[in-house]
Copies of this chain bind each other. A is one copy, B any other.
Amino acid sequence: MNIPRSSFPRVVIIGGGFAGIALAKKLRNKSVQVVLLDKHNYHNFQPLMYQVATGGLEPDSIAYPIRKVLQESNDFYFRLADVKEIDTKNNKVIADIGELRYDYLVLATGSKTNFFGNKEMERNCMAMKTIPQSLNIRSLILENFEQALLTNDIEERHSLMNFVLVGGGPTGVELAGALAEMKKAVLPKDYPDLDVRKMEINLIQSGDRILNTMSENASKKAEEFLIKLGVSVWKNVRVMGYDGRIITTNSDLTFDSATVIWTAGVQGALVNGLSAESLIARADRIKVNEFNQVVGYKNIFAIGDIAYMVSEDFPQGHPMMAQPAIQHGRQLAANIINLVAKKPLSPFVYKDKGSMATIGRNKAVVDLPHYKFSGVFAWFVWMFVHLLSLIGFKNKAVVFLNWVYNYIRFDREARLIIRPYKKKHQVNFTTDEI
């Protein structure tokens, strides 16, 4: 990997998500050389991905070129690379495009969909962790409706119009709400020759409440909102299998559905060479100390979703969300600068800014540390916070414009099948991200 030598120590960051970008930005023009590696040349704003999957936003407005984020950084290098292994003995990263020596290594590889070992689910469900996956879902929803028009088989039509979301976390809830709004305002106009009332949206949650990382009140409100929108919420139901058509559960309940979207869990995206059992906590996260140092290493760090940092308040690590990732990244930047300057490190302290989820127009739930609320005001707060968090003025403006338009017109215009999903994947759907 053609990276010039520098008089500064080299920090190699793997991953340009919230954590990696926050770190790289804070290390800009400091006494280190920074090399950022990512499989994609863009950073994506995961919290709005469900809107891409449901035609509310175009993918380009939630993605941002990494090179542009870090333009005008001295001694900074980005490489489009798929990291294969870490050679911790020789301090080397081994990637598809070659090898690279590091002085400091930061894993910011994030997380991937966790199917908890269920290969059948993995094969047949849709996942939504990448932009191509979100576009696949968008294509599939629309292809299903086109196909529903063609069949005279009532059961097949029902299956094509039955959408099942497994997992009642924020992603599942937000997707369910967005699908319900499509059902209400968009699809009946597009498919006048189809009885869209027959479309079903089922949200399946294994626990006894949805949004179980939020307050009880948020869970209750969110469920009310979903039910008002026509979503069937199934609690205490565990999905056991899905053959591409029938979902079986731990009870007598079954669902006949052509489209199952799996949002039930994520796991750390491990890298070979740093996956020894002693390093790994639950959900494939890597154990780090309060300085984000991977246990047993002085010069290897993990930040964001992949990092498992235990504290009194967070006995199971920080939530796998944008906020801890960003805060990890920023804190680690300060610590790396300290390390280079031979100063003592400062421990990480998580500042909980709260969490929120949107269910539909005028319907959101917000848990702030000292104040919890829901409804129209929560919805505006949700929009405001997400708009401000997007990188880049133009993306903010385009998303704002889309939201205003969608709000006024009750519409979602990006219902385009640009790359058909079914034709390519025939009977068995795969979860490949290409």
Contacts and interface: CB of A to CB of B under 8 A. Distances in A.
A423 B418 CA distance: 20
A33 B40 CA distance: 48
A418 B63 CA distance: 9
A207 B113 CA distance: 55
Interface stretch (A15-23, A251-259, A377-385, A398-406): A398-406
Interface stretch (A165-173, A326-334, A366-374, A409-417): A409-417
Interface stretch (A118-126, A144-152, A209-217): A144-152
A202 B304 CA distance: 45
A419 B419 contact: yes
Contacts of A40: 417
B146 A41 contact: yes
A61 B65 CA distance: 19
A276 interface: no
Interface residues of A, number: 55
Nearest to A61: B58
B72 A189 contact: yes
B63 A60 contact: no
Contacts of A189: 68, 71-72
Contacts of A423: 434
Interface string A190-204: 110100000000000
Contacts of A98: 150
A94 interface: no
Interface in A4-21: 4
Interface in A58-77: 58-61, 63-65, 67-68, 71-72, 77
A247 interface: no
A190 B67 contact: yes
Nearest to A406: B394
A278 interface: no
Residue from A132, A393, A415 whose CB has the most chain B CB atoms within 10 Å: A415
The 8 A-B pairs of least Cβ separation, nearest first, read A58-B60, A67-B190, A80-B146, A42-B416, A394-B405, A60-B414, A41-B417, A58-B58
16 contacts: A1-B150, A2-B150, A41-B146, A41-B415, A42-B416, A42-B417, A58-B61, A60-B416, A63-B416, A68-B190, A77-B193, A79-B146, A98-B150, A394-B401, A394-B413, A420-B434
Interface of A: 1-2, 4, 40-42, 58-61, 63-65, 67-68, 71-72, 77, 79-80, 97-98, 131-132, 135, 142-143, 146, 149-150, 152, 189-191, 193, 392-395, 397-398, 401-402, 405, 413-420, 423-424, 434
